[in-house]
Structure 1
Amino acid sequence: MTNNLLNSGASSLDSEQVDAQGQLPSTQDVNPSEGNSQTKRRQSATSASKIYSKVQQLQETLERHQNDRQLVILQDFPDPDALSSAWAYQLIAEQYNIQCDIVYAGTLSHQENIALVKLTGLPTKRWSVETTKNQDLSVYQGYVLIDNQGTTTQLLPIVTEANIPLIAIFDHHSSQGELK
């Protein structure tokens, strides 16, 4: 089962929106004369509920894949958004004993992206198409797409051909259609 975490509309939560048990605030005590305020609270509660649901999905997915080794595939020319999101996923996955290799097929095309990787020690690997074809991909139990949906990476056909299952997609861009 693939978790598609596209366009989650994630926004920051404050402690008043969701309590420690994941309960949303009640709107029953809202004064009807507040009008628009009540609508905003409901929208906020709905947004918080969606975010909490996505967090639960991620946790369940990570629990199902404990002790796996995964490829974290970025777009061919990763930007700071992709790089930092992949690293965040790797750090979270480590809590579930999931080993991640962050890979991309193109190049780090801007000086700020190169600096980000060098200065932070961000653990990325450039895999050309030829390099990937020569890799032993059987060591991976799944792959994750971060900041792309598979349409901006040359690695997807090779990984798909190796029958590595897609675990999840994390992307904030508009849906680009189903993966084939």
Structure 2
Amino acid sequence: MSTYAILGCGSVGYAVAEELVAEDKNVFILDVDEGRVEALRDQDLDARHANISEESVAEAVADRDVILILSSDVDANAAAVEHIRALGDDQFVIARASDPVSADELTELGADVVINPSAVIADSALRALETGELEYKARQLGEVIDRTEHRMAVRVHRSPDPDSIASAAALQAIAQSRDVEADIVYDGEIGHQENRAFVNLLGIELVSRDGIDLSEYDTIALLDHAKSGEPEAEQTADIIVDHYEHEHEHDVEFADIRPSVSATSTILTKYIQELDLGLDQGVATALLYGIRAETLDFKRDTTPADLTAAAYLYPFA
């Protein structure tokens, strides 16, 4: 089992120590504040007083596998990294920086991993914001679908590609989970042989625009529609979901347009997750293929959101 040393046990170091001790890890703590050391000892932690910038500290932790240098004094952290690396490269060293400049310095001195608490907090806040926004948007989407009295039309762009078809199948599944019947409506033809095989193999039913009267649908969704080549200003809708910006403003009840992702299938996958919807194999396979097609098997403009969506879908596909 790995052994750990924490150099500098302020708020960050103490939080890490608590987690490691809770996992029954062997933790040794060094800190320059004698009062803090006494308080740590009162909690039955193995803590000793030391100035972590001194050379002797490297020898004091030489028997530890992992060194976490977490004091708020970046100069002391840099000195600790330098002294530890002077004894060898066997230990895994994590060091705390305060900004990109100090992060580069610590990396050059030999730290294996450099963390910036401010950046970590900001990243955590942004993730919380993203989660909160998705929860809010999912609730909005559900409310619009629930107001459907008769039937919903999910319109995809002309001669739809796998991303368009897959995202439509996902929205159809969301609607059906709320007891709302939905048709996937397309214009033109499903021209490419590969796209026809995609639809046939997965059993996705599409309805040609030529054979229906859109006025019979009381809810209309436009999915992956910005690149349709049709005049957007003439399109009416209640729901718009797309990964391309639209040239015209739409007065709709619900819109989620995210140029920050590479596939509309990615957006719909996030809603599937948020709504905790059971995925059947066909829809999961379609969404995964839609993401792969838009990103050229993750080789073109792939974002972290595309990758996490694909990872979620893979076990179901």
- Normalised by the length of structure 2, the TM-score is 0.39
1:26-80 Cα shifts (integer Å, max 9, x gaps):
xxxx849622111111111111111111111112212222x42121111002111
1:176 aligns with 2:176: no
Q: How far did residue 82 of structure 1 move?
A: 0.6
Gap runs ≥5 in structure 1: 1-29
Q: Structure 1 CA distance, aligned partners of 2:157 and 2:225?
A: 6
Would the aligned equivalents of 2:156 and 2:164 in 1 still touch at CA under 8 Å? Answer: yes
The one-letter code matched in structure 2 to 1:145 is L
Give the letter aligned to residue 199 of structure 2: V
RMSD: 2.7
Query: 2:129 maps to what in 1?
Result: 46
Cα pair distance change 1:156/1:143, threshold 3 Å:
farther
Report the alpha carbon displacement of residue 122 of structure 1 after superposing the two structures with TM.
Answer: 0.4
Cα separation, 2, equivalents of 1:156 and 1:125: 23
d(CA) in 2 for partners of 1:58, 1:156: 22
Among candidates 143, 148, 152, match of residue 60 of structure 1:
143
Q: State how far apart, in whole Å, the 1-side matches of 2:206 and 2:232 are.
A: 14
- In structure 2, the residue matched to 1:21 is none
Percent sequence identity over aligned pairs: 30
Give the number of the structure whose residues are more often helix, by fraction.
2
> Which residue of 1 is the match for residue 208 of structure 2?
126
Structure possessing the higher relative contact order (Cα contacts under 8 Å, 6 or more residues apart): 1
Is the 1:74–1:153 Cα contact (8 Å) retained in structure 2? Answer: no
Q: Partners in 1 of 2:129 and 2:232 — Cα distance?
A: 37
State the partner residue of 1:110.
192
| Alpha-carbon distance in structure 1 between the residues aligned to 2:247 and 2:141 | 21
- Provide the C-alpha distance between the structure 2 equivalents of 1:38 and 1:62, rounded to a whole number of angstroms: 36
Residue from 140, 143, 149 that aligns with 2:220: 143
Q: How does 1:66-105 map to 2 (within 5 A)?
A: 67-105=149-187
Q: What secondary structure sits across from 1:107 in the alignment?
A: coil
**Partner amino acid, structure 1, of 2:154:** V
Distance 2:233 2:150 in 1: 19
Shift of 1:155: 10
The secondary structure found in structure 1 opposite 2:125 is helix
Q: TM-score, normalised by structure 1?
A: 0.66
Q: Which has the larger radius of gyration?
A: 2
Aligned length, in residue pairs: 139
